[in-house]
Amino acid sequence: MGTPLDTREAQVEEVIDRLEEAYPEPEISLNFSNRLELLVAVILSAQCTDERVNKETADLFEKYESVEDYANADEDELAEDLNSITYYNSKAGYIKSAAQAILEDHDGEVPDTMSELTDLSGVGRKTANVVLQHGHDITEGIVVDTHVQRISRRLGITEEERPEAIEEDLMGVVPREHWQNFTHWLISHGRDTCTARNPDCSDCLLEDVCPSSKLQHDVDLADGSEW
């Protein structure tokens, strides 16, 4: 029990097989109806729960309907409209600046390349990957959020620590056709079972192949701390 398979590729294949069966229809949990709303929602989701973002955007998307609305918004008013979101002042600035760039440089349309997206304020690879995958149906990489970072390390799939390095490492062992769903499977598993502070190893469908299992091991490979 708690023993990973012999190779990372085999470990990934086993993890995917089990999580795909448990979560056959993985979906993004952010609410949006167009690419602009998706971009805004993902910017807001940084270090904030999707549940909180969805509550805020329910009203936000009624008030700000176009890229012009965000570009021309009073930044202080926009920040106040986001005041239940973590770092709302900074995120208001990011959104306004990104909207202005989309108007000036992209004819008012959310761009569809990694380089153009990451040139926008508040947009890193994680945000860009989400927008490409769910807004443009383009998969260039693997979204590495806190769940993916934590669980991929716990399972011994990667030893990298930074999200960018983890993404590059995972892209080498996760089959490309699973890049998008791999993120959703790990997010779902992380929310349901493999939580950050007190994972339920006794009821985990991956426990027998997990080198971080509390039932068999003393160390959480996610951060190197002792259980």
Query: Any catalytic annotation for residue 69?
Result: no
Q: Which of 174, 187, 148 is nearest to 27 (CA)?
A: 187
Assigned token pair, 110: 């959310």
The contacts of residue 95 (CB under 8 Å, 6+ apart) are 40, 43, 44, 70, 78, 121, 122
Catalytic site residue from 91, 96, 126, 214? 126
Residue 13 CA to residue 35 CA, distance in Å, equals: 32
In degrees, to the nearest 5, what angle opens at C-alpha 45 toward C-alphas 92 and 53?
85
Residues annotated in a binding site for [4Fe-4S] cluster: 194, 201, 204, 210
Q: Is 169 a catalytic site residue?
A: no
- Known binding residues are 194, 201, 204, 210
Give start and end residues of each alpha helix (H) in the chain.
8-22, 35-45, 50-63, 67-71, 75-81, 88-105, 114-118, 125-135, 146-154, 163-171, 179-192
Q: Which is the catalytic residue, given 145, 169, 214, 220?
A: 145
| Number of neighbours of residue 207 by Cβ within 10 angstroms | 20
- Smallest CA-to-CA distance from 222 within 209, 208, 213, 212 is with 212
Phi-psi region of 174 (alpha: psi -120 to 50; beta: other; left: phi over 0): beta
CA 100 to chain centre: 25
Active site residues: 126, 145
